[in-house]
């Protein structure tokens, strides 16, 4: 497992640094954990699109769709 960790750091992180991902997620609080796991939650409002996303999957799919268009 340690070798995998080193490989990811050596191979993936330079790519992430160069490509600057526009959508990174963290799920630490209970609210965002529910948001990530499709459990009932109040959602997260995006002021740019004026949409309320109730799951992280929906937000990510919308971000990908927007980026591709």
Confidence check: pLDDT of 48 > 80: yes
First to last CA, the chain: 38
pTM (global) more than 0.85: no
DSSP 24: -
What tens digit of pLDDT does each residue of 6-41 get?
766 667 667 666 665 555 555 555 667 888 889 899
DSSP 28: -
- pLDDT score recorded for residue 49: 87
- Residue ranges in the chain assigned as alpha helix (H): 2-19, 30-36, 56-68
Q: How far apart, in whole angstroms, are the C-alpha atoms of residue 18 and residue 4?
A: 21
- Residue that has been written with the tokens 């699109």 in this structure: 49
pLDDT at 62 over 70: yes
């Amino acid at each position: 497992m340690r070798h995998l960790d080193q490989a990811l750091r050596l191979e993936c992180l330079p790519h992430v640094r160069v490509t600057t991902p526009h959508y990174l997620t963290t799920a630490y609080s209970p609210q965002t954990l529910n948001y990530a796991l499709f459990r009932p939650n109040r959602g997260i409002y995006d002021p740019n699109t004026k949409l309320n996303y109730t799951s992280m999957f929906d937000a990510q799919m919308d971000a990908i769709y927007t980026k591709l268009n």
